[in-house]
């Protein structure tokens, strides 16, 4: 015990002298300059900003504590379709979950403690914060700014190269945490089926795969449309999961700003972007025609509008629900 006390004392002295700072996210001890200030340097392991602010880890976080109401409502409607679970399990059995893993092992780069170690550290941070076993993480060369989670028994997360190139380290953590949120929220069965239905939406293509009768049944029964409608709303829940990991709503906001504005985002005023998000939400809530067109346009997309996602996160924070959850766990 005496030795531990000496070690702790020497560490405190070192911090006081500005020699090192322990990363609040991953725990790595980092050497810093004597004039160090919060957020003026990044961790050598996870590359996230160093700060003496605490980072909360959730001991027993339940998915229903952060699931978005629109997600819950859409999922209930989806589960009300007769035979849906059986059909989806047959679909995934036919297409083979192993195909997902084989594809990315062959066409993407697998992240490990030695391969892209900062991304591996970010994945570990997201998983330990939410209480999820670490899935495999891959980087795939793709000009589309996107990320997704696939598989069921052994989920995998895939980040597109364009996304990593465009986002900051904190924003990249937010995206990884969003994908880990899908695993924590137990979205992966329906989410994998939804993405597969997007790929097989053309029946002429669907007929080429084994078990095409199952695909045709799913489409004809309206399951495909219900799946995609739910999948869009599930993204709102996982934005909340991302916030529980990064613990700064503006990181989520800036990420969405880049998704909306692309590389031009560096010239965009973030505060004005937040005003735009609030204006969008106000019009959506108060103007029936705006709501009608927003719903129609968004129905053709795989994700909710970035501006809508920002407004939903702002609402969750400003309503006090996020703060209450941070205190509770």
Q: What is the DSSP string of 111-149?
A: P-SSSSHHHHHHHHHHHHHHT-PPPEEEEE--SS--EEE
Separation between Cα atoms, residue 46 and residue 41, nearest integer Å = 12
Q: Are residues 67 and 51 in the same domain?
A: no
Q: Are residues 106 and 44 in the same domain?
A: no
Separation between Cα atoms, residue 189 and residue 85, nearest integer Å = 9
Residue 8 lies in a domain: no
Give the per-residue pLDDT at 39: 87
Q: Are residues 49 and 118 in the same domain?
A: no
Q: Are residues 234 and 90 in the same domain?
A: yes
Active site residue 179: yes
Choosing from 170, 179, 235, 312, the catalytic residue is 179
Q: Are residues 220 and 125 in the same domain?
A: yes
Contact yes or no for 176/123 (Cβ under 8 A): yes
Residue 6 lies in a domain: no
Separation between Cα atoms, residue 297 and residue 170, nearest integer Å = 30
Separation between Cα atoms, residue 257 and residue 264, nearest integer Å = 10
Q: Which one of 34, 55, 76 terminates a domain?
A: 55
Secondary structure class of 255 (helix, strand, coil): helix
Q: Are residues 250 and 288 in the same domain?
A: yes
Give the per-residue pLDDT at 30: 95
Q: Are residues 44 and 144 in the same domain?
A: no
Residues paired with residue 282 on neighbouring β-strands, in sequence order: none
Q: Which one of 55, 80, 105 terminates a domain?
A: 55
Q: Which one of 9, 28, 55 terminates a domain?
A: 55
Q: Which two tokens stand for residue 304?
A: 């909710």
Torsion of CA 155, 156, 157, 160, to 10 degrees: -140
Residue 102 lies in a domain: yes
Nearest to 134 by CA among 155, 151, 114, 117: 155
Separation between Cα atoms, residue 319 and residue 278, nearest integer Å = 14
Residue 43 lies in a domain: yes
φ, ψ for residue 73, nearest 5 deg: -65, -45
Residue 90 lies in a domain: yes
Nearest to 309 by CA among 232, 205, 245, 198: 232
Q: Are residues 163 and 43 in the same domain?
A: no
Q: How many domains does the chain have?
A: 2
Contact yes or no for 66/325 (Cβ under 8 A): yes
- What does each of the 329 residues of the chain score in pLDDT, given as a tens digit? 334 444 444 444 444 455 889 999 999 999 998 888 888 999 999 999 999 899 999 989 999 999 999 999 988 888 887 777 777 777 776 666 777 888 899 999 999 999 999 999 999 999 999 999 999 999 999 999 999 998 878 899 999 999 999 999 999 999 999 999 999 999 988 888 777 766 655 444 444 444 455 455 555 446 767 788 888 999 999 999 999 999 999 999 999 999 998 877 778 899 999 999 999 999 999 999 999 999 899 887 888 999 999 999 999 999 999 999 999 86
Q: Are residues 50 and 146 in the same domain?
A: no
Residue 12 lies in a domain: no
Give the per-residue pLDDT at 306: 94
Q: Are residues 91 and 151 in the same domain?
A: yes
Q: How far apart are the first and last CA of the chain?
A: 30
Q: Are residues 80 and 121 in the same domain?
A: yes
Residue 9 lies in a domain: no
Give the per-residue pLDDT at 14: 42
Give the per-residue pLDDT at 3: 40
Q: Are residues 179 and 211 in the same domain?
A: yes
Contact yes or no for 198/228 (Cβ under 8 A): yes
Give the per-residue pLDDT at 4: 41
Residues, the chain: 329
Residue 34 lies in a domain: yes
Domain that holds residue 24: 20-55
């Amino acid at each position: 015990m005496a030795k531990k006390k000496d070690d702790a004392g020497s560490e405190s002295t070192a911090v006081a002298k500005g020699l090192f700072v322990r990363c609040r996210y991953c725990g790595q001890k980092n050497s810093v300059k004597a004039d160090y200030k919060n957020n003026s340097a990044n961790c050598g392991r996870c590359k996230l900003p160093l700060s003496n602010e605490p980072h909360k880890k959730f001991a027993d976080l339940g998915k229903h504590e952060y699931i978005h109401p629109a997600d819950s409502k859409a999922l209930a409607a989806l589960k009300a379709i007769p035979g849906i679970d059986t059909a989806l399990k047959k679909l995934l059995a036919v297409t083979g979950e192993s195909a997902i893993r084989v594809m990315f092992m062959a066409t993407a780069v697998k992240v490990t403690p030695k391969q892209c170690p900062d991304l591996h550290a970010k994945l570990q941070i997201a998983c330990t914060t939410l209480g999820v076993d670490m899935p495999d993480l891959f980087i795939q060369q793709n000009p589309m700014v996107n990320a997704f989670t696939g598989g069921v028994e052994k989920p995998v997360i895939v980040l597109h190269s364009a996304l990593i190139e465009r986002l900051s380290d904190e924003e990249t953590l937010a995206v990884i945490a969003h994908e880990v949120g899908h695993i924590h929220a137990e979205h992966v069965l329906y989410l994998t089926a939804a993405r597969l239905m997007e790929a097989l939406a053309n029946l002429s293509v669907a007929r080429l795969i084994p078990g095409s009768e199952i695909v045709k049944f799913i489409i004809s029964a309206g399951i495909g449309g219900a799946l995609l409608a739910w999948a869009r709303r599930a993204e709102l829940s996982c934005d909340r999961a991302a916030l529980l990991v990064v613990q700064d709503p503006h990181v989520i906001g800036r990420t969405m700003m880049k998704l909306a504005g692309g590389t031009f985002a560096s010239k965009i005023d973030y505060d004005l972007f937040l005003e735009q998000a609030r204006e969008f939400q106000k019009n959506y809530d108060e103007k029936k025609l705006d709501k009608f067109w927003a719903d129609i346009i968004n129905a053709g997309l795989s994700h909710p509008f970035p501006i809508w996602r920002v407004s939903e996160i702002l609402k969750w924070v400003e309503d006090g629900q996020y703060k209450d959850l941070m205190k509770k766990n």
